[in-house]
Structure 1
Amino acid sequence: MNKFSIIAAVVLSAVSAATIAAEVPASVDAKNCKAEYPKASLMNEEQGDVKMSFLVGADGNVVESKLEKSSGFKNLDKAALKALSGCKFKPGTKDGAVAQTWTKVDYSWKL
């Protein structure tokens, strides 16, 4: 075996290990997890998209939440974070086993 063959074998081994060690983020069923439109936002005809990140435990409950991008309206952002933080997620996996993972969720407020 020459040097090139040995290096190629090492690279292939590293790629295979990375594929096996893949992380699958948690997910949420948006149909079963809706936020109530804030009354003040309805009256002011506020709309927008909220981008959030959630750390979801192996039990499917939210451990931590972060606002990644605002809708432009504080009431909509707070309502989306609060509602989705209370939702049950399908836990993510690491190395094929259920584990705590971060996931991103976008929520659209439309009238």
Structure 2
Amino acid sequence: QQGTVTVRVLVGADGAVERAEVADSSGFDSLDDAALETVRARWRFVPARHDGVAVESWVLVPIRFALLEANAVH
């Protein structure tokens, strides 16, 4: 399975993920779920600023899952 999941993230004024939802599915529930779980549990952002003050804002984040070909070792 491979594809790109676009996650819509509400970033708090402190840079923490307040909400995350799938904006555009990869077509595979397992990839969509992995992207959401990773963003919610592990990611932090630099918050947007308005007049120099950190504010919450929405951001779209594409997360690409790709299979890579392994090189054979002889």
Deviation at 1:94, TM superposition (A): 2.2
Q: Which structure's CA Rg is the greater one?
A: 1
**Matches of 1:78 and 1:100 in 2, distance apart?**
24
TM-score, length-normalised on structure 2? 0.83
Q: Which has the higher contact order (CA 8 A, sep 6+)?
A: 2
Which protein has the bigger helix share?
1
**How many positions carry a matched residue from both structures?**
66
Deviation at 1:96, TM superposition (A): 3.0
Which protein has the bigger strand share?
2
Q: Which residue number in structure 1 is paired with residue 28 of structure 2?
A: 73
TM-score, length-normalised on structure 1? 0.57
Unaligned 5+ segments in structure 1 are: 1-45
Moved over 4 A (4+): none
CA contact (8 A) 1:50 1:107 kept: yes
1:108 aligns with 2:51: no
**AA matched with 1:82:** E
Unaligned 5+ segments in structure 2 are: 68-74
- Cα RMSD after superposing both structures: 0.9
